[in-house]
Structures are given as structure tokens and as C-alpha cells.
Amino acid sequence: MTTQQPQQPQQPQPYKKPLPVLEPETRPFWEAAARREYMLKRCSSCKQFHYPPQNVCPHCLSSNTVWIRGSGYGKVYSYTITYQGGGPGYAEEVPFVLGIIELDEGVRVWSNVVGIDPKEVKVGMVVEAVFENVAGQGIAIPRFRPRPQKKA
Ligand SMILES: [Zn+2]
């Protein structure tokens, strides 16, 4: 007699890094990221974008702010390469790049630069947002990769 084990579905790897906490001011950003959209807050009074998302504009203190779908395009403003250490989920990925990305909308965001050898990353490199699904969490984490350039 043989006992057949039921086929187990492929279990995704557990996500070990900290997950974003969805606060009322940031929830729309994360919900959009799960749809692969990069949403930004823009002030209707002074017309400037800001990040992180806030209900009150940090430039002019207006509470007249709205969500706008950003391009997801930007440039590497600055970066550092991490070669060792890091907590759970990070140690397995060294070396990795933590960068400041200046989005085309004018705001700067912290993010990882992925899809490239860390040694090839350059200040001014044109990048685009990509979204890493967090298995089973309904969350996607935006990161940035080099944006293919059209041939001149
Ligand atoms: Zn403003």
C-alpha cells in the first residue's frame, strides 16, 4: 500500500525585509504600487510635487493636495553600494545599491537600483520604476532599474 501525499502548491519564499506600514496618508501610494503605478502627491495651490506623501504641502502648508500618477521615470541623484551586513533579507542580496532617485516630477526618493551590476551604476543614469511583488502580501515595492535609451 502506498500513501500518496497531496501535491503541495509551490510555496513562495517568505519576505524577510520590513514591510511598509500603510498609514492613511501613504495607503494610496502602496495600493497604486500594487497596480504598478507610481503615485505622487501634488499641491494644487503651489503646483509642486512632494514626497513622502503628506496631506499638507511641505512647500506652502496648503492642505489642498491631490494624488497624481507619476511617470515612474527619473535619474540617479546619488547612491551607495552595500557590500556586507544588513538584516534579514538584505544580507542575502549584497552587494546592492541604495540610491536617491530624482524623479522627473522633481522630487527625490530613496530606493534600490536593480537590474544592473552595482559597479555599473552612475550618477545621472536614467532609470524607471519596477515593482517587486511581495509574495502573498498584496504589496509591491517600487525599485528603479536602468531605462533603455533610444538610439540617436
Ligand atoms: Zn504647496
For residue 43, the CA-to-ligand 1 centroid distance in Å is 5
Give the number of domains in the chain. 1
pLDDT at 85: 78
- 92 found inside a domain: yes
For residue 103, how far is its CA from the centre of ligand 1 (angstroms)?
A: 18
**Considering the domain boundaries, does residue 40 fall inside one?**
yes
Instruction: Identify the residue with better confidence: 127 or 17.
Output: 127
Domain hosting 86: range is 27-146
Interval between CA 4 and ligand 1 midpoint (Å)? 64
Predicted structure pTM score: 0.86
- For residue 151, tell me if it sits in a domain: no
Tell me if 4 is assigned to some domain. no
Statement: residue 2 has pLDDT above 90:
no
Q: List Cβ neighbours of 59 (8 Å cut-off, separation of 6 or more).
A: 43, 46, 48, 50
Tallying the residues shown for the chain, one arrives at 152
* Residue 115 pLDDT: 97
Q: Distance from the CA of 98 to the center of ligand 1, in angstroms?
A: 29
In a domain, 49, yes or no: yes
Say which CATH number the domain at 94 has: 2.40.50.840
CA of 96 to the centre of ligand 1 (A): 35
Determine, yes or no, domain membership for 16: no
Query: What would the pLDDT profile of 8-67 be if each residue is shown by its tens digit?
Result: 555 556 788 889 999 999 999 999 999 999 999 999 999 999 999 999 999 999 999 999
Confidence of residue 3 (pLDDT cuts 50, 70, 90): low
Q: Does residue 75 belong to any structural domain of this protein? A: yes
68-81 tens-digit pLDDT? 999 999 999 999 99
Q: Does some domain include residue 139?
A: yes
> Residue 110, exposed/middle/buried by CB under 10 A (0-12, 13-18, 19+)?
exposed
